[in-house]
A and B are shown apart, each in its own frame.
Chain A
Amino acid sequence: MGVGALALLAYALAFASPYGLRVLTVAGVYALATFGFQIVFGLGGALSLAQGAFFGVGAYVTGILGSRYGLGFEATFPLSMLVPLLLALPVGLAVLRLDSHYFALATLGIAQVLHLLAVNLPELTGGSNGLAGVPAAVLFGWAVPRGLPMAGLVWGLVALGGLIGWRLARGRLGRSLTMLRDDPLAAATLGLDVGRLRLAAFGISALFAGAAGALAVHTQRVVSPEVLEFPVMISILTVAIVGGRGRMAGAVVGAVLLLHLPEWFRFLERGYLVVYGAALLATVVLAPEGLTGLLDRIAARLAGRRPRAMADAKEPPLPPIRSEGLTVEGLRKSFGGVRAVDGVSLDLRPGTVTGLIGPNGSGKSTVVNLLSGLERSDAGRVLLGGREVTGARADRLARAGLARSFQAAALPQGAGVLEAVAAARLAFDPDTATAEAHARWALDRLGVGHLAGQSCDGLPAALRRRVELARALLRRPAVLLLDEPAAGLTDGEKAELAALLRELAGEGMAILLVEHDMGFLLPLAGRVLCLDRGRVIYDGPADGVRHDVAVSAAYLGSSRSNPAVSA
């Protein structure tokens, strides 16, 4: 990255013609707009097609205030960032709950509406012709001339914006957004407020886009509806993809390359588009992780991967007040005409392990989903630590002291083990370094501390389960819901897991264990509930379940003893 920055500086100072400086300036404008897009799309995974529209709004604010009211850069620049932000917040509240493609379409709609307004409000916007005569950027009485000074202003702001974006990406926000992008459900169960995070990312993206729009107008000295049209959005999207999704350096590399590429082939008249398209296609095919990813790969091959410096393990603090456990009364949930959970009541007391069994489709996972806030119950009451939490969102339940694991260990693809586990503390710790120190403690406790520097990809099933369990434990929850944690483990590994769960219960944790493996579950659980077609058919001591007629019938469809339960 340093080489690239030096090259740009040397080029701008010593080699660039006025034309070269203009292309470089425009590249800086697009880099700045793409920083915001990297946050909302690259990190947060939300394909916001409103980034071009926010760019246009920033451009119009500067254009109108500069050309009509004679305001200077000191006033127009912050306002060009503020107005898109004020637009993004209410719009975000309305559209951010939509799923991927609906969200993309909704944000595209925003751009269309703004374009129509720009064309049809000629008194304000100049209509289709736009507003000409926008003054140059005037900084404290100095009109910044085109050429090197303007390029310096734009790239100074690119450096500042890139630094802010880089810090955001590496900090709690960026890590939380990445978690959200990779697995929104798991993110919510780790205590991350999905809605607030998405709104924050959307707002930040609007700030960057507005800043870029303002600079674009000072570069062009005219603002017209073209700044709100789809090609601007496509350019930003292409810069992000080609440069490297989610990376600020990628925005710079992508913008510099994509703005210069057509210029290298201008001599081909309109044929340059064919070469440009082919070059883009080749880049996407050969470097699907973007040019910065490709450069990383090459650097790693040439110089080897440098081991990451890691913080020392540190035990996370226990919640100040231990919970009274979890109480559930008359829980009900239907999907269409199917009643998946029908009047389930249970009581998870601190220091106990409760088993939840039942044949496939009996509603066990639905109960765990309801208790962890991933599904909303139709009826019933839930108390966590003595407080009513019925219908609460997953992130609120998580912050109130509830943790869960998934049937298939939900670890983000491509993430490091330490990062994946530390994600569980992002909603609690002041910074990522603290979260990682706590994560190392949890990994050590699960006996997988040596995996901290490895990638989650390719971990064997047993290790994946341990890593996921470390993530669940990391928040020192009062209530732990485990969905088939012994699946795929060897007998030795199961014994280790059982010992750990006993230890956790001994510390006062209330554990609900959904499990098919009775040999693992029954010695561990003090009490067992059995579900059949959503209803509790057995609720009593673990010993009694082996001989219960209703349980046997549920598993075998007859009154004979159940070999699966007896095993």
Chain B
Amino acid sequence: MRRALSLLIGLLAASSCPSSAVRADDTLSFPVLVPLTGFLSLEGTSQRNGAVLALRQTPAGVAIASEVVDTGTSPEAAVTALERAAGRGTVGAVAASMLGTQMLAMLPLAQELKLPLVTVSGTASITEQGNPWVFRFFPGDAVTKAAHARYVVEELGRRQPAIIYQTTAYGQSGKAHLDAAFKALGVTPVFEEGVDPAAKDLLPVLTKALAAKPDVLVLHLHSSPTALLLRQAASSGVTLPIVAGSAMHQPSTAALLEPAELKGVCAETAASPISGDTPEVRAFTDAYRAAFGKEPDAFALGQYDGITMVLEAVKAGARSPDAIRKALSSETFKGLAMTYKSDGKGNMAHSAVIVCYDGASRVPTLVKRYDDPTLAAK
């Protein structure tokens, strides 16, 4: 019995205190806690890769450690992963999941443990909890949808948009911000309808939208529905301009379509690394391809910028989570995608871009940059 008891305790203790937890005192740890499995695995992998690439730039004189942990898609797994990470040496900051519900679950614990969370989650409410330990390196809907609407109205000169959005939290939030942005521009959409992400045929909603006589189609859909609607629009001979949501900019979405089906399609996004508009972004894209054999997207670049800003703070002498939090809260950082600066709530990204496809390739061209488009609209 004594032997069985020792064995059981030993097994449990092995999971609680793994050997990798033992590190030198001066090592700063930057765990990457992101969804690598489940419905957000593509985006989560981009986030992981962006963070891992950034963590290769070890500041001189500082020992850096990192561990990647899959959070799946449940809040419970994310909280457990954060508690696990917190028990392994001195944590400087955490690259935290882009899934809003996981972030909301991690926030109270991060505050209790006093650990900065660096994320690219778009969920508005994560920076509305009054929690000083969260930093979002991806523009929220207020920014991207303002850019989306302004491009439609100011650049394309269209005033009769038909909006097709997703019936999910992502879709509903985007639609609400589009409505507000169009209203601010004095435009009333001629058609608005939500579609289920599981819908396998979007021709009915497209037909209804066209019947409302719009002069532009405005999409705010997830990746696969975006590709499906664009394919059905192309095969139906739709010639109206289409301005899609950020899912369109992902290389994995474009890969679902033929270049010809993308002709005339534009999309809003935080960044489009594969468009390579600066030498620095091109260098990042090349390094990313070399390291992971994939095309980077805005999530990868946002997370890369976020962790790079953290490491810049470390280089500047920040050696504790609180010092890093203070640096993130107060400093301005010129990243590859944009310049980041906290608005006091942890929203670091205030720029969005519009990219367009020429019908000859799946690589879009950056056609317009909006820095703080909401302020500009006001």
By a beta-carbon cutoff of 8 Å, the part of chain A in contact with chain B is 3-4, 6-8, 10-11, 15-20, 22-24, 26, 119, 127-130, 132-133, 146, 216, 219-222, 224-226, 231, 256, 260, 263-264, 266-267, 269-270, 272-273
Contacts and interface: CB of A to CB of B under 8 A. Distances in A.
B125 interface: yes
B76 A220 contact: yes
B74 A10 contact: no
Nearest to B8: A7
B105 A220 contact: yes
A55 to B, nearest CB: 12
Interface residues of B, number: 46
A264 B14 contact: yes
Nearest to A12: B12
B211 interface: no
A231 B72 CA distance: 11
B16 interface: yes
Contact of B13 (A18, A20, A26, A146): A20
A537 B83 CA distance: 81
Contact of A15 (B13, B18, B67, B169): B13
B15 interface: yes
Interface in B9-35: 9, 11-18, 20
B70 A132 contact: no
B12 A19 contact: no
Contacts of A10: 5, 9
A164 B84 CA distance: 33
Contacts of A267: 18, 20, 67
Contact of B36 (A130, A221, A231, A269): A269
Contacts of A22: 79-80, 83
7 contacts: A3-B4, A3-B8, A11-B9, A130-B104, A220-B105, A224-B104, A270-B70
B69 interface: yes
Contacts of B12: 7-8, 11, 15-16, 20, 24, 256, 260
Contacts of A6: 5
A501 to B, nearest CB: 53
A220 B79 contact: yes
A15 B10 CA distance: 9
B23 to A, nearest CB: 14
B108 interface: yes
A23 B77 CA distance: 10
Given A22-B80, A119-B169, 15 more contacts: A3-B5, A7-B4, A11-B16, A15-B12, A15-B17, A19-B16, A19-B80, A20-B17, A130-B75, A216-B76, A222-B104, A225-B101, A226-B75, A263-B15, A263-B84
A130 B101 contact: yes
Interface string B218-259: 000000000000000000000000000000000000000000
Interface of B: 1, 4-5, 8-9, 11-18, 20, 36-37, 41, 67-70, 73-76, 79-80, 83-84, 86-87, 100-101, 104-105, 107-109, 112, 123, 125, 129, 168-170, 172
Contacts of A17: 16-17, 87
A272 B81 CA distance: 14
A288 to B, nearest CB: 23
Q: Give the 5 A-B residue pairs with the shortest CB-CB distance, closest first.
A: A20-B16, A128-B169, A7-B8, A224-B101, A132-B104
Contacts of A226: 73-76, 101
Contacts of B125: 129, 132
B16 A16 contact: yes
Contacts of A119: 168-169
A188 B85 CA distance: 55
Contacts of B11: 260
Contacts of A133: 108, 129
A146 B20 CA distance: 24
Contacts of A263: 15, 80, 84
Contact of B75 (A19, A20, A224, A256): A224
Contact of A19 (B14, B41, B73, B83): B83
B45 to A, nearest CB: 9
A532 B36 CA distance: 70
A19 B76 contact: no
Nearest to A4: B8
B165 to A, nearest CB: 13
Contacts of A23: 15-16, 80
Contacts of A24: 12
Given A3-B8, A18-B87, A226-B101, A127 B172 contact: yes
B86 A19 contact: yes
A22 B37 CA distance: 22
A3 B70 CA distance: 33
Contacts of B37: 270, 273
Nearest to B14: A264
B1 A3 contact: yes
Contact of A129 (B13, B17, B123): B123
A221 B13 CA distance: 26
Contacts of B74: 226, 231
A3 B36 CA distance: 37
Given A129-B123, A132-B129, A269-B70, A19 B20 contact: no
A53 B263 CA distance: 46
A483 B123 CA distance: 69
Query: Which residue, of A132, A216, A266, has the highest number of chain B Cβ atoms within 10 A?
Result: A132
Contacts of B172: 127-128
Contacts of B168: 119, 128
A260 B8 CA distance: 12
Given A18-B86, A128-B169, A272 B70 contact: yes
Contacts of B15: 20, 23, 260, 263-264
Contacts of A129: 100-101, 104, 123, 125, 169
Contacts of B79: 22, 219-220
A250 to B, nearest CB: 16
Contacts of B5: 3, 6-7, 10
B80 to A, nearest CB: 6
Given A10-B9, A129-B125, A267-B20, A19 B101 contact: no
B106 to A, nearest CB: 9
Nearest to A264: B15
B13 A11 contact: yes
A19 B84 contact: yes
Nearest to A133: B129
Contact of B80 (A7, A26, A256, A269): A26
A7 B9 contact: yes
A266 B75 contact: no
B75 A220 contact: yes
Given A26-B76, A263-B84, A270 B8 contact: no
Contacts of A11: 8-9, 12-13, 16
